[in-house]
Amino acid sequence: MERIEVDLFTDQGNCAIVRLPARQFPGVLVQGDSLSILEADARQLANRLAALDDTLLDHELIDQAQDLADELSGLLKHYETTLQRHGIPLPYNPRG
């Protein structure tokens, strides 16, 4: 293990926005339990999609996909707001 100093922009909620010394842009540090939930949701969604008959419309599956997208959108919005508040440009073009 190596100890280093990082720039901490925010640590609100289940994630922190930090910048490592050798990086130009900050990243999102997601707590392990939150990451585990996101991974489980994505894996379950992928497994259900793989098993789905193309002729079926599964509203529960659509809801699950929307929940996962909403969770990731919340993380992304938090990231974008934090960078904007600190005058740091985004490392990508935001969707309009």
Instruction: Report how far residue 83's alpha carbon sits from residue 63's, in angstroms, rounded to the nearest whole number.
Output: 30
Q: Please, which residues have CB within 8 angstroms of residue 5's CB and are 6 or more apart in sequence? A: 21
For the chain, what's the residue count? 96
| Predicted pLDDT of residue 57 | 66
Q: Per residue in 15-62, pLDDT tens?
A: 899 999 999 999 999 888 888 888 888 888 888 887 877 666 677 777
What is the structure's pLDDT at 67?
A: 87
Separation CA 19–CA 26 (nearest Å) = 4
Of the candidates 17, 22, 16, the one whose C-alpha atom is nearest the C-alpha of residue 2 is 22
Tens digit of each residue's pLDDT (9 = 90 or more) over 57-84: 677 777 888 888 888 888 888 999 999 9
pLDDT of residue 35: 84
